[in-house]
Structure 1
Amino acid sequence: MKRFLLIVLVIIIAVFTTGFFLPKEKTVTQTLNATIPFDGISRAIVNKNQWQNWWPGKVVNDSTVSYQEKDITINLLLLNGFKATVKDGSNWVFLDFQSAATYNAETALTLTTTISLSSNPFLKVFQYMTVGSSLKKWESLLQSLKTNFSDIQKIYGFDIQLGKVPNSSYISAQQNYDHAPTNEELYRLIDEVKNYIAGENAKVMNDPILNIVKESDKAYTAMVAVATDRDLPGKGRFMLKQMMLGNLVVAKVTGGPAIIEKCRQAVQFYVSDYRKVSPAIAFERLISNRLTTDSTQWVTTINYPVFQ
């Protein structure tokens, strides 16, 4: 009996000693690379209205999100990440997420997970032996963040793709207005171009493209162009435009002027973030006829010619 009590006492002393000398916290740092430039990811982090697009869980409010049914409090929002706390079982977990630019238009995502342990030596030993399952949960958070931060649509809000300029020969026409041109005025200009192409016994090869420049509240310039099957001579207001069959950043959008403008800005961000150089101005391609389609159903592509 005395031997048994002695063994128990030795075990208690060993556990106490081990717990006493164990660190007060367990910290693990992991890094994964996302395939989107830092500027795009930073913009998504700073704008709390975008969190619902990329956070791999539920956005509860401006300072609280959830992941695997655990509420996480965002204590500090930074340009490149955030610091947060979460109660996981009996442990307090501190999350320090940071992003940093790397190379090849990638971003390093680093999550430092710190689990605070009890000051009670016996409880600390138990916690230290069981923190593995908690750490795996936060490892999966970083993997989910990497997946979402590598998704163009989640970060930019639109499915932006790289493509090729489909047509090289265009006939264009330009018109100045003292007001924002109406759809009726724009399609009247487009029809004039199409009629000129038909008069030259040529074929229309694609949907019309459009660019409007606002000089002031009373000065707008609209340029429309229609692709043809061959180069045609310029005549009067109708000009031949030859587009280089190069690379194109393109995004399709469905909706009216507000969502089209939002898509245009997203494409501009994309071009800037990926450090692409453009040889020409961006333009809209009018996929659906805006005169016969409700504005909520307009289909448009935003196109941005780039060198690479």
Structure 2
Amino acid sequence: MKLKCAVQLSSFFVVVILLVQCANKQSQPATVAVATVEAEAFKHITEAALVQKWWPGKVLATLLTDNDFEATITTTFHGTRAFNVRWEDATYNTLLMVLPGAKDSTIVKWIAAPNTTPLPAALNAELQVYLNRLQQFLSNSANIYGYAITEGRMKDTVFIATKKAYPYYPTTNDYYTQIASLRAYAQQQQVPVTDSPMVHVFKDGNGQFTAMTALPIQYLIPETNTFFIKRMILGKNINGVVRGGEASVLDGLQQLERYKSNYNYTSPAIPYQSLIVNRLAVKDTTQWKTKLIYPVM
């Protein structure tokens, strides 16, 4: 009989311990690691237009709602946004915080403000659901920069190039006239072209635009007054494919510059466009695909 009672008592304590452990686990503050820099994470918890992209409910000037959930914004400071969260007829003072994480990541926590009422386990669980949505959203760089930006390696080192100045922003026909001359010269020199043609446009101090076009080639060939060799090292790059016309490409280049700045890269060379689609053959600009490549280190 004593043995039976001891077994029952032991089983009871095991159940209690498991319940306590489960409760403690549920009561952990809502926390996620997001795959972006602190500045971008902070924008996505403070700028209404960006919050609306991942928040499941309504985003108002000073209020986030989702069914019965209400969080009133009270203040913003030092990587933190303070909310009064209304939950089951009680109000809790909370902080949504952006903190440094491991390399190329950021920690986001939604916790009770210091010296205030602790958050119930069920509320912590709901806040965790919201942070999980933020984590999933920010895990895709396209949600931040408008298109997916990845890090890669340069695969071509030798290019035959030419350039020409224009009193206007060069057109598609201008690009392809230059590219045609490059192809003709490469064919004359019997050198294989290894990838799509490349373009870089810049504005000089006189208000003119210069278009430099290039073809990656297999080996060095002689230079002329018109055609010259460009070399690149087999280093790191950041890159992504943009769909659309010239406006989309220019915006994509700005976003690539933003990514470079966010991750503190420097560049040993200029960014350029790799023309995946023959724009002369495809008139619908929505079908254009351009790979943007920026050598970095």
TM-score range, shorter chain: 0.7 to 0.9
- C-alpha distance in structure 1 between counterparts of 2:106 and 2:266, whole Å: 21
Contact 1:98 1:109 in 2 (8 A): yes
**Structure 1 segments (4+ residues) deviating >6 Å:** none
Task: Report how many aligned residue pairs link the two structures.
Answer: 269
Gap runs ≥5 in structure 2: 1-26
Letter in 2 for 1:35: A
SS, match of residue 233 in structure 2:
coil
TM-score of the two chains, using structure 2 as the length reference: 0.79
SS, match of residue 261 in structure 2:
helix
- C-alpha distance in structure 1 between counterparts of 2:210 and 2:145, whole Å: 29
Contact 1:208 1:224 in 2 (8 A): yes
Could you tell me which residue of structure 2 aligns to residue 40 of structure 1?
A: 40
Could you tell me which residue of structure 1 aligns to residue 144 of structure 2?
A: 155
Could you tell me which residue of structure 2 aligns to residue 111 of structure 1?
A: 110
Letter in 2 for 1:110: K
Q: Summarize the alignment of residues 39-78 of structure 1 with structure 2, pairs less than 5 Å apart.
A: 39-53=39-53, 55-67=54-66, 70-77=69-76
Greater Cα shift, 159-168 or 254-263: 254-263
SS, match of residue 229 in structure 1:
coil
Could you tell me which residue of structure 2 aligns to residue 192 of structure 1?
A: 181
- C-alpha distance in structure 1 between counterparts of 2:56 and 2:292, whole Å: 31
Can you list the C-alpha shifts for 1:73-131, whole angstroms capped at 9, x where unaligned?
A: 444455734223343332234432121334423222121246x88xxxxxxxxxx9x93
Greater Cα shift, 83-92 or 168-177: 83-92
Contact 1:99 1:110 in 2 (8 A): yes
Contact 1:177 1:218 in 2 (8 A): no
Contact 1:193 1:238 in 2 (8 A): yes
SS, match of residue 120 in structure 2:
helix
Could you tell me which residue of structure 2 aligns to residue 82 of structure 1?
A: 81
Could you tell me which residue of structure 1 aligns to residue 131 of structure 2?
A: 142
Can you list the C-alpha shifts for 1:12-56, whole angstroms capped at 9, x where unaligned?
A: xxxxxxxxxxxxxxx975544323221232344454332333x24
Letter in 2 for 1:87: R
Contact 2:52 2:59 in 1 (8 A): no
Contact 1:113 1:138 in 2 (8 A): no
TM-score of the two chains, using structure 1 as the length reference: 0.77
Could you tell me which residue of structure 2 aligns to residue 299 of structure 1?
A: 289
- C-alpha distance in structure 2 between counterparts of 1:78 and 1:302, whole Å: 36
Letter in 2 for 1:285: S
Can you list the C-alpha shifts for 1:237-292, whole angstroms capped at 9, x where unaligned?
A: 10111221221100111012222222212211111111122111111111112223
Query: Deviation of residue 165 (structure 1)?
Result: 1.3
Which protein shows a greater Rg? 1
Structure 1 vs Structure 2: percent identity of aligned residues? Answer: 23
Query: Compared with structure 1, are the counterparts of its residues 47 and 239 closer, same or farther at alpha carbon in structure 2 (3 Å cutoff)?
Result: farther
